[in-house]
Copies of this chain bind each other. A is one copy, B any other.
Amino acid sequence: MSLIVMKFGGSSVGDAERMKRVAKRIVDRKREGHRCVVVVSAMGDTTDDLIDLSKQLYDGAPPAREMDMLLTTGEQVSVALLSMAIQNMGEPAVSYTGWQSGMITEDLHGKARITDIQPHRIHTALEKDNVVIVAGFQGMTEDGEITTLGRGGSDTTAVALAAAIHADLCEIYTDVDGIYTTDPRVVKNARKLKEISYDEMLELANLGAAVLHPRAVEYAKNYNVALVVRSSFTQNEGTYVKEEAEMEQGIVVRGIAYDKNIARISILGVPDKPGQLAKVFTSLAAEQIDVDIIVQSGVLNGLADFSFSVSLSDRDKALQTIEGIRGEVGFREVTSEGDLVKISIVGAGMVSTPGVAAKMFDELSKIGVSINMVSTSEIKISCVIDGKQLAEAVQALHTAYGLDAQEQVFVGGPQDRR
């Protein structure tokens, strides 16, 4: 008998019918002999509806404390209803809010971090054979204030809870059936991964594969929580997220991610004096603008050019900010481009495999894609390219690195597909 945490997102419990399906799924798991702790998000559009209401009553951004009071009702509704649905199928169940389940957070509304978990109620309820249902995304400060964990919070609740109660497995149920080598909407041959390391998953999560929240993956890595991402609508096996050391070896590139929301900003003719770049990036940081890749070209006649990438949505604010320090920095010209994407190959095996980057540049050049910017980490290489060439580039790299579904069959033989 194992102890598992099952997490269901808002779309999995979007209406009464889906809620029943989720309940059935949980009841089946319990009847297989598992003890189940379930984390659930607010139903479908509930959160958006509550936000709409708040906008009618407060001009601008509503006070964060009251938003937490408001939004946490969404998960409370879900847990109560799911508990009823499970009890209706004949299994005992009990629901808890974040504070009832002992989720203690720092005193920061809207995006608090979990500081402690006191799961005594959960243990007691499990001993009485209950399915325990916990409201995701929410907690309580030491002073009894209700807080939320911010975006992706229910994933974090599930993983943190799994760590605290020493669960054998944390199952993240979602509307896709696992992590894919790349976006199946772009590459028809995209293949579901059997497993992926925490670090690889973190790179993919950060790069726009929005299945699992990066914070939850970090938490899982830190506490070594065994994770699986699987579909709430099918019985397909999902993708296991685990320690690299436990994984099958020899795979160089695990997956390909992309981010369409990229703009490049170039500042030309900057006097080559110490501290000029620092002025630019300090002022951008002060405006909460995240800068991703930075490239500086050579110096000519004491003047340097450099460029950097930001989110497309931050482009205008970034340009304004830079104009605002023109006098201070003294550059000649600032330009920007918007129709760009960042394409990234991710794989823990890269570290020990020379020539991975060269292969990427070569493959892209073969299909006539020029590379605007490059950035690398130990397990990832990212290139910023023209947005119109995205699909073609992803497809080419997917094939080149042996990720296509058919290729896998040819290389490893049928028995490897199990």
Contacts and interface: CB of A to CB of B under 8 A. Distances in A.
Contact of A83 (B50, B63, B84, B100): B63
A62 interface: yes
A54 interface: yes
B57 A84 contact: yes
A121 B144 contact: yes
Query: How many interface residues does chain A have, given as a range?
Result: 35 or more
B59 A88 contact: yes
Given A87-B63, A100-B144, A144-B100, A69 B80 contact: yes
Contact of A87 (B16, B66, B144, B146): B66
A236 interface: no
A410 interface: no
Interface stretch (A71-79, A185-193, A221-229, A264-272): A71-79
A169 interface: no
Interface centre among A54, A65, A77 (most CB of B within 10 A): A77
Given A73-B76, A77-B50, A95-B69, A84 B100 contact: no
A94 interface: yes
A81 interface: yes
A120 to B, nearest CB: 11
A58 B85 contact: yes
A56 interface: yes
Nearest to A140: B100
Nearest to A19: B57
Interface string A36-57: 0000000000000010011011
Interface centre among A50, A59, A63, A79 (most CB of B within 10 A): A63
Contacts of A405: none
Contact of A84 (B54, B79, B95, B144): B54
A88 B16 contact: no
A329 interface: no
Contacts of A293: none
Contact of A79 (B57, B67, B69, B76): B69
A334 interface: no
Interface string A81-101: 101110110000011010010
Contacts of A146: 97, 100
Contacts of A56: 16
20 contacts: A16-B53, A53-B77, A53-B81, A57-B85, A57-B88, A58-B84, A58-B85, A63-B84, A63-B87, A66-B83, A66-B84, A66-B95, A67-B80, A69-B79, A69-B80, A70-B76, A70-B80, A72-B76, A73-B73, A73-B77
A-B interface, 7 closest residue pairs, ranked by CB to CB distance from nearest: A70-B80, A69-B80, A16-B56, A73-B73, A58-B84, A57-B85, A66-B80
